[in-house]
Amino acid sequence: MTTTKKTAAAEERFDDLLKRLEGLVGQLERGDLALEDALKAFEEGVGLVRRGQARLDDMDRRVEMLLTDGTTRPLPSGPDAPDPDDGGEPPF
């Protein structure tokens, strides 16, 4: 993944992902999509779920660090952020 795509994915809001996913689910539930269109919507939905889960995991790590650290300063986020489960020290 390029740096631009990583930055765009990191800035993508969870709420926006959820709204798009809800729209796709609505289309699929109506059942009026052609098979090819339904498959494309499903594939897009799977991607949205994965990106949403990654955002939730990132937020969870940040909360864990806040609770462990006891501070309220901004914490590093994204794929390079330390994982509190691996025993690593925060980079500050």
**Interval 42-66: pLDDT, tens:** 999 999 999 999 999 999 888 888 8
- Asked if residue 12 is part of any domain, the answer here is no
- Asked if residue 86 is part of any domain, the answer here is no
- Asked if residue 9 is part of any domain, the answer here is no
- Alpha carbon distance 68, 53 (integer Å): 22
3 state DSSP class of 77: coil
Instruction: Give the domain range for residue 54.
Output: 34-70
- Asked if residue 84 is part of any domain, the answer here is no
- Asked if residue 46 is part of any domain, the answer here is yes
Structure-token match 């330390």, residue found: 82
Say how many domains are in the chain: 1
Residues 18-45 have pLDDT tens digits of 999 999 999 999 999 999 999 999 999 9
- Asked if residue 47 is part of any domain, the answer here is yes
- Asked if residue 15 is part of any domain, the answer here is no
Token output for 72: 């309220």
pLDDT over 80 at 84, yes or no: no
Report pTM.
0.63
* Mean pLDDT, all residues of the chain: 80
- Alpha carbon distance 65, 86 (integer Å): 12
